Structure 1
Amino acid sequence: MNMKNLLLTTVMILISLASFGQERNILWAHGLNSNGDFWNDEYSRSQRDFRVRSTGFSFPTNEGVINYANRIRNSSIGIQGNQSIGIGHSLGGVALREIDKQNPNSFGGFITFGAPLDGARIANGVIQGTPINQFVTQSVDNLRRGPIASSTRNVWQKFRDTVNDVFKGGKGITSILIRSIASRPVLDVTNDLTEGFEQTILDIYDPNDQTIQDLAENSNYFNSISNL
Structure 2
Amino acid sequence: MKILTRSRIMLLTALTALFTSRSLSYGQQTRGVDWIHGLGGDVNSLRRVDSLYNALRRVVTPIRQGYNTSNGITNMATAVQGSTGGANRLGIGHSLGGTAARQVSFWNNSHWRGIVTMGSPLRGAKISASASDGTNTAFINNGIDRMMAGPGVGAGTAPPIFPNLGILIHQVSILGQLFSGTLASKANSTLMNSFGLVGQTAVDLHPNSNYQSGAQFQGATVPKILIWGNEVYPLLWRTVGTYSSDNGTDDQGVSIASTAADIYNTIANGEEALSWANLPMHGFHQWRKGKWEEGKNWVNNDSNAGWEEVIGSNYTELVSWYETVVTCDANQWQACYASSPPPGYCDDYCTDQVYHSYTVYHDYPSDGVVTQRSATNDGGSWQGIHLEAPNTNHGEFKRPDRVRPTLDWVFNNGDQSGHFQIDLR
What TM-score do you get using the length of structure 1 for normalisation? 0.60
Is 1:104 the counterpart of 2:109? The answer is yes
Deviation at 1:90, TM superposition (A): 0.6
Counterpart pick for 2:83 among 70, 75, 78: 75
Is 1:34 the counterpart of 2:41? The answer is yes
CA distance in structure 2 between the aligned counterparts of 1:101 and 1:26, rounded to whole angstroms = 19
What's 1:46 paired with? 53
Maintained 8 Å contact 1:94/1:115: yes
Q: Root-mean-square deviation (CA), in Å?
A: 2.8
Maintained 8 Å contact 1:82/1:107: yes
What's 1:120 paired with? 125
Q: Deviations over 1:180-219 (max 9, x none)?
A: xxxxxxxxxxxx9865441124425666510010011011
What's 1:63 paired with? 71
What's 1:129 paired with? 134
Structure 1 residues 29 and 128, CA gap change in structure 2 (3 angstroms): same
Maintained 8 Å contact 2:140/2:184: no
What's 1:93 paired with? 98
CA distance in structure 2 between the aligned counterparts of 1:47 and 1:127, rounded to whole angstroms = 40
Is 1:203 the counterpart of 2:189? The answer is no
Deviation at 1:44, TM superposition (A): 1.9
Letter in 2 for 1:131: N
Maintained 8 Å contact 1:28/1:86: yes
Structure 1 residue ranges (4+ consecutive) displaced by more than 3 angstroms after TM superposition: 135-138, 192-197, 204-208
Structure 1 residues 48 and 204, CA gap change in structure 2 (3 angstroms): closer
What TM-score do you get using the length of structure 2 for normalisation? 0.33
Where 1:213 maps in the other structure, the secondary structure is helix
Letter in 2 for 1:219: S
CA distance in structure 1 between the aligned counterparts of 2:138 and 2:33, rounded to whole angstroms = 37
Maintained 8 Å contact 2:40/2:196: no
Deviation at 1:40, TM superposition (A): 1.2
What's 1:22 paired with? 29
Structure 1 residues 56 and 134, CA gap change in structure 2 (3 angstroms): same
Counterpart pick for 1:217 among 204, 207, 210: 207
Where 1:131 maps in the other structure, the secondary structure is helix
Higher helix share: 1
CA distance in structure 2 between the aligned counterparts of 1:73 and 1:49, rounded to whole angstroms = 27
CA distance in structure 1 between the aligned counterparts of 2:196 and 2:83, rounded to whole angstroms = 26
CA distance in structure 1 between the aligned counterparts of 2:107 and 2:191, rounded to whole angstroms = 30
Letter in 2 for 1:60: N
CA distance in structure 2 between the aligned counterparts of 1:117 and 1:32, rounded to whole angstroms = 13
Deviation at 1:226, TM superposition (A): 2.1
Deviation at 1:126, TM superposition (A): 1.3
Letter in 1 for 2:57: F
What's 1:150 paired with? none
Structure 1 residues 96 and 193, CA gap change in structure 2 (3 angstroms): farther
CA distance in structure 2 between the aligned counterparts of 1:202 and 1:122, rounded to whole angstroms = 9
Maintained 8 Å contact 1:35/1:57: yes
Gaps of 5+ in 1: 1-19, 139-191
What's 1:141 paired with? none
What's 2:292 paired with? none
Aligned length: 154
Letter in 2 for 1:44: S
Maintained 8 Å contact 2:70/2:200: yes
What's 1:188 paired with? none
Deviation at 1:129, TM superposition (A): 3.1
Greater C-alpha Rg: 2
CA distance in structure 1 between the aligned counterparts of 2:38 and 2:142, rounded to whole angstroms = 23
CA distance in structure 1 between the aligned counterparts of 2:188 and 2:199, rounded to whole angstroms = 18
CA distance in structure 2 between the aligned counterparts of 1:133 and 1:201, rounded to whole angstroms = 16
Maintained 8 Å contact 1:132/1:198: no
CA distance in structure 1 between the aligned counterparts of 2:141 and 2:209, rounded to whole angstroms = 21
